[in-house]
Amino acid sequence: MELSILLLLINTVATLYMTGLIWMVQIVHYPLFAEVGSEQFPEYARKHQFLTTIAVGPPMLAEALSSILLAWHIPPRTSPSMVIAGIVIVASIWISTAAIQVPCHGKLEDGFKKSIHKRLVLSNWFRTVAWTAHGLLVVSMLAAAISPAPVV
């Protein structure tokens, strides 16, 4: 299998995994934070952060690395601008995660705070939309790359 197609497959699988996961987190998981008892919340928040890192760390790294490597191994019938757009989207997700969501989770480890929870839920819409956009982008890239070459 051509390296560019393999990288695109890795990128697509990791991106679609994260897209599905972020929608579940946004619609179900984060809103339910408010339902955890205040006494139990700090321990819950610490365990949540640890276990979430296990679930999202490998696919986020696979998505980021394969996005970057695609710049050197552009799949057939794929526009370089699509690859660059993917890198920009992934970078923006990582920046948002590091600058907003991780600090919110850190503050919630001290106990549930309604204002921090609200910031977490609202700011996470950015990542939800970004991962959805990246998912649509990589599926379109994959469709183009595996479609038969036009006969000339």
The answer to pTM > 0.95 is no
Q: What is the pLDDT of residue 151?
A: 67
Q: Answer whether 117's CB lies under 8 Å from 36's CB.
A: no
pLDDT digits (tens, 9 = 90+) for 6-48: 999 999 999 999 999 999 999 999 999 999 988 999 999 999 9
Containing 84, the helix (H) or strand (E) segment is: helix 80-96
Residue 149 banded pLDDT, cuts 50, 70, 90: confident
Q: Which residue has the tokens 């990288």?
A: 7
List the domains of the chain with CATH numbers.
3-142 (1.20.120)
